[in-house]
Structures are given as structure tokens and as C-alpha cells.
Structure 1
Amino acid sequence: MIRLGVYAPDGAPEVMPGDDLVGLVVALTELADGDVLVVTSKVVSKAEGRIRRGTRDQALPGETARVVARRGETSIVRNHLGLTMAAAGIDASNVLPGHVVLLPEDPDRSARDLREGIHAQTGLNVAVVVSDTAGRAWREGQTDIAIGAAGLVVAEDFAGRTDAHGNELAVTLPAVADEIAGAAELATGKLGGRPFAVVRGRADLVLPAGEHGPGAASLVRADGADLFGYGAREAVVRALTGAEADRRPFGAPASADELSAVILRATGLHTSHTRAGGEGLLVTTPRGLTRAVQALAFAHGWVAGTTDAAMELRLRPAAY
């Protein structure tokens, strides 16, 4: 039997730049070996001086690596941590009016510092998660996720194992760091002034002292590996404009057969392989369909160039 417990103590003061988070945690919690300490990113950012004067709109450009989608006044962006979040995770709540709080510069490092500091003061071996709130594609509402972690197995890999019926698990990878962050948020709440939570009962996920693990950064998919690199509207526009800087989020080049099938489905045009062989394709494009074929090629990781023949395009995989 596994019994999981979560508690979040009251009594945390308003955190200011330079405050000693380790001292606050030790004073407010009753930690034990094997616990997981979850700390909200807001107090980590405040202690690290990540408070800025201004609005979220003013701070957004500096925190944005690229825009993923826009709907009205809402911008979903990939920030410099690789996280895809509304307004890059910039927060204007629980802060003085006219100010915003940016995410920690390196949440995994922040988690390591907290873990080492707690061990130095108490001798206890605990894991640390830095959590933040994020929305989810296809789901209403938000939940907390781990944006930083130290001393924790952040994901359990079940690939290759079999279930009770003998079925092999192919891609089962529970993101336990995110699950722990979500469980902790049930205790911390949004308005309760409880930025620290202790999750107890999964000491098997806590690494030995001195081993910090890959951190929460290992849960971030590389740009281009995500199947949803742009919003639906943005993907159409980016493919039609075909700017080289927009190529990577569409992912690695598709196979020649896949691209041929897509072109046939969307335009009714047949492709043929180039005389040189390999993966090159040729397609004759009547007037009015050239732009469509170029956009389809771009969205599938291919480059469309002209040949000496009239209305003929040569397609080849782009460098990735």
C-alpha cells in the first residue's frame, strides 16, 4: 500500500528580493528524509529579484523566444526556458500594482540551490520541485506543473515493461514531477499565502544526496519535436509566408511518400521522383496551385524550387 500525504503550512511572510528561502522552509515545515518539497515559482522569483516595473505586455517581448499562437489579447509563446505558456509565464498577481514577476532565470538551478541549502542546514535528503501554473491544450482550466526539479525522478519510464495481462507498454512515461506539482497545488491554493508544500509517501522517487537528476528541463520537448509547434491559424500563415526562421517548429522533413500523398489530397496533383533518384520530387503545378504546393512542402519540411521547365517545381527535404 502507498499512502500519499500533502500539507502546506500557513504563516509564510511576503517574500522580498534577497530573502532566505531555505531558512523560511526550515522554519515553516517539518521535513523528513524522502520528502518532496514543492515551492511556487512566484516566491522563488521574488527572492531572486525577478520583479519588474511595468505590465505583462511590456515585459512579454523580452521573455519570448517565439510566438506559438494568438487569440485576441492572449499570446501563447515559447519562452526562453522552452516552456509554452500564456504570456511567457509572466505574472501580475500577488505583486505590487504596476509590477510583474518573471519566471526564475534557471528553475532547475533554483531547485538545486534549495535542496543543497536544506541538506546543509538539516542533514535531510529531500527533493525539490519549483512549480508554476499552466494551461493545457484540449482542456479547460489550469494546473500546476514542475518547471524546476532537483533530486527527483521527474518521469518514470515504463516502456518495455508488461502489464498484468502481458501487454507491452510502448510509450508510457508518467511525468511524476508534474503530478507532484499538481497534487501540491491542492494544498497551497492560489490565494492562501502558502507557497510551500510537502509531499510525503514517494521516497522511491527521491535521488540520493548529491544526485540532482536531469531536472524539469528534461520534460521540455525540443522545438520541432512537438506535433503542435504553432496554433492552427498561425501554422497556415507561417506555411504560406514560408520564412526560413519559421521552419523548425514544423519538425523534421516528412518522407517523400507522405508529402506526395498530401499534395495529391490537397491539390489533385501527382508527383514523380527526380531523375537523380533519392528523395527529390517533381510536380507540375498549373497556374494558381504553385503557392499551395510551396506551402504544403514548407509545412512538411521540404524546400520548393523551380526547374527549367515551365510550371514545374523541384522539391527536396530541407536541412534540419
Structure 2
Amino acid sequence: MNRLEVLAPDGVPEVRAGDDLVALLLAALDPRDGDVLVVTSKVVSKAEGRVRTSDRDEALAGETVRVVARRGPTTIVRTRHGLTMAAAGIDASNVELGSIVLLPLDPDASARALRAGVHERTGRTVGVVVTDTAGRAWREGQTDIAVGAAGLLVAEEYAGRTDPHGNPLAVTAPAVADELAGAAELAQGKLAGRPFALVRGRADLVLPAGEDGPGARALVRPEGGDLFGYGAREAVIRALAGDPADRAPFGAPASADELAAALLLVTGAESRPQDGELRIAVPAGPEVAALAFAHGWEVLADQDSAVARLRPLSP
């Protein structure tokens, strides 16, 4: 029988810039070797001086690498951490009126510092997860995820194993750091003032002292590796605009067959491969240019304006 325990203590005082989070953690919890300490990013940010007297809209640009999607008042962006979140994770809850809290500059580094501090003061080897709340594509509601981690396997790798029926597992990789974040949030709640939690029962995920692991950053797909790098509307706009700076989220060049199928669907004309190119008997107008851009190809100039020539971009 497996048993998982989650403890989220009451009575943690308001955290302010410069506070000793390790001392506050140890005053609230008594960790053992193999425990995982879960800390909300909000108290990490408060201790690190990431509170601003501002509003979300004023701060958003400085926390944004690029806009992923907009829909009404909601703006989904990619942050400097690589996270894709509403309003870059900027939060105006559980903070004084007129103030906002930005995400930590480096949540993995914050997790490493907490882990090192606990080991230095107690001799205990624990894992640390720094959490924040995020929505999910295709799902209503939010859940907590790991934005920082230290001393922890953030994902379990099942590829190459077989299930009890002998079926091979190809891509199964549970994001256990996110699962721990979600489990801790069930005990912490949103309004109860419980920024710390201790998860006991998964010591197998905790790394030895001195090994911090890859951090939560390892759970972030690289630019171009996400199948949904833009929102539906934004993808259309970016492809039609054709700004080279917008190419990365569309990923690596598609195959000639994939592009040919898209050209046939949109233009009704078949294309033929020739010398590493695709040639289609239609002018290289906006539709063809947008399709080429979205598939990682470029349109070449041609003396015969009735024939469009397309070539894949170099990776």
C-alpha cells in the first residue's frame, strides 16, 4: 500500500521583502529526509522584493517575451522563464490593495537556495517545489504547477517500460513536480494563509544532497516544440503578416507532403516537388505566402508569375 501525506500548517506570518524563508519554513514544519517542501511563488516573490505598486497592465510588458494569445481582457504570454501563462503570472491577490506580485526572477534558483538552507540548518535532505497557479488548455479552472524545483526528479520516465499486460510504453512521462504542486494546493487552499506544505511519501523522487536536478525549467517545452505556440486567431495573423521574428513558435519546417496537402486544400491546385522545392501553378499571393510561412518554408521569386516556387528554410 502506498501512502501520501500532505501537511499545510496555519499561522505563517505575512512575508515581506528580506524575510528569511528558511526560518519561516522550519518554524512551521519539521521535515524529514525524503520529504518534499512546497512553497508558493508568492511568498518567494515577496521575500525577494518582487512586489510592485502598480497594476497588471503596466507591469505586463516587462514580464513578457511574446504574446501568445489575446481574447477580450485576457492576455496569454510567454514569460522569460519560458512559462505560458495569463498575464505573465502577475498576481494582485493576497497582497495589499494597489500592489501586485511578479513571479520570482529565477524560481529554480530560489528552490535551490531553500533546499540548501534547510540542509545547512537541519542536515535533512529534502526536495523543494516552488508553485504558481495556471490554467490549462482545453480545461476549465486552474491548478498549481511547479515553476521552480530543486533536489527532485521533476518527471518520471516510463518510455521503454512495459505495463502489466506487456504493452510497451512509448511517451509516458508523468510530470510529478506538477502533481506534487497540485496535491499540496489541495491542503493549502487559496485564502487560508498556508503558503508552505510538506508532502511525505515520495522519497523516491528526492535526489541526494548536492544533486539539485534539472529544475522545473526542464518541464517547459522549447520555443517551436509546442504544437500550440500561438492562439488560433494569432496564428492566422502572424502567418499572414509574415514577420521573420514570428517564425520560431511555428516550429521546424514541415515536410513537402504536408505543405503540398495544405496548398491543395486552400488553393485547389496540386504542387510538385522539383530539386528540393515545391512548385505550384498559382501566383505566389498572400495565401501561398502565409501557408509557406506557417510551414517553415519561403516563397522564391520566379520569372513565371503564374508558378510559385517554395523552399524549406534551413533549421
User: In terms of mean alpha carbon deviation, does 243-252 or 308-317 score higher?
Assistant: 308-317
Deviations 1:94-141 (A, max 9, x none): 111111110000000000000000000000000000000000000000
- Tell me the equivalent position of 2:227: 227
- Measured against aligned partners, the alpha-carbon deviations of 1:149-172 in whole angstroms (never above 9, x if no partner) come to 000000000001000110000100
Which structure 1 residue ranges, 5 or more long, are not aligned?
Answer: none
Letter in 2 for 1:116: A
State whether structure 2 residue 213 is matched by structure 1 residue 216: no
- Cα distance in structure 2, aligned partners of 1:312 and 1:267: 13
Which residue type is aligned with residue 179 of structure 1? E
The 5 A counterparts of 1:122-133 are 122-133=122-133
* TM alignment of 1:1-320, pairs within 5 A: 1-274=1-274, 277-278=275-276, 280-286=277-283, 290-320=285-315
Q: How many Å apart are 1:291 and its aligned residue?
A: 1.1
- Deviation by residue 1:20-40 (Cα, 9 ceiling, x = unmatched): 000001111021110000000
Whole-angstrom CA distance in 2 between matches of 1:306 and 1:313: 8
- For residues 33-52 of structure 1, what are the alpha-carbon distances to aligned partners after superposition, in whole Å with 9 as ceiling and x for unaligned? 10000000000000000111
| SS class of match (2:207) | coil
How far 1:253 sits from its partner (Å)?
0.3
- Structure-2 separation of matches of 1:103 and 1:253: 34
The number of residues matched between the two structures is 315
Q: Could you list the runs of 5+ residues in structure 2 that have no partner in the other structure? A: none
Separation of aligned partners in 2, 1:306 and 1:106 = 46
Structure 2 Cα separation of the partners of residues 220 and 17 of structure 1: 28
Match of 1:30, SS state, is coil
Paired residue secondary structure (1:85): strand
2:60 maps to amino acid: L
AA partner of residue 247 (structure 2): R
With the length of structure 2 as denominator, give the TM-score of the two structures: 0.98
Task: Quote the RMSD (CA, aligned, Å).
Answer: 0.9
Identical pairs, percent = 69
Structure 1 segments (4+ residues) deviating >4 Å: none
CA distance in 2, matches of 1:34, 1:251: 39
CA distance in 1, matches of 2:166, 2:127: 34
Please give the alpha-carbon distance, in whole angstroms, between the structure 1 residues aligned to 2:25 and 2:6.
15
Asked if the contact 1:306–1:312 (Cα under 8 Å) also holds between the matched residues in 2, the reply is no
Distance 1:89 1:253 in 2: 31
TM-superposed deviation, 1:273: 2.1
**C-alpha distance in 2 between matches for 1:234 and 1:283:** 27
